[in-house]
Structure 1
């Protein structure tokens, strides 16, 4: 396992991890503050947390209501 992490080029991977974390935090904050969303909030929290990068993007495209 140690060898696996030694071979990773962190200069390439780190920006993607940071973007993923920022997307997740912003989506969760928006989800908590939102009065109405498409579907249940619990479902969206699960999607955002489990599907990492795709989950927050899906929430911003399909989950938000612009009422």
Structure 2
């Protein structure tokens, strides 16, 4: 428990919040449109399991341009 007290939460919390916001927005987008470059389910796994970079990669490469 001593290790948790030493973590600088004021620096880490904005990164965690940003990651959660990006993940939620990307998941809503992929579920709403369901037209992606590549398999639909693959993008869901990338968004959820590749933390901050996953949603960014989806917005750059995964969205199908209409």
Q: TM-score per shorter chain, which class?
A: over 0.9
1:15 aligns with 14
TM-score normalised by length of structure 2: 0.94
Return the alpha-carbon distance in structure 1 between the equivalents of residues 15 and 34 of structure 2: 30
| Secondary structure in structure 2 of the residue aligned to 1:38 | coil
Return the alpha-carbon distance in structure 2 between the equivalents of residues 35 and 49 of structure 1: 16
- Is 1:30 the counterpart of 2:26? The answer is no
Aligned Cα RMSD in Å? Answer: 0.8
TM-score normalised by length of structure 1: 0.93
Structure 1: segments with no counterpart, 5+ residues: none
Dislocated runs of 4+, deviation >2 Å: none
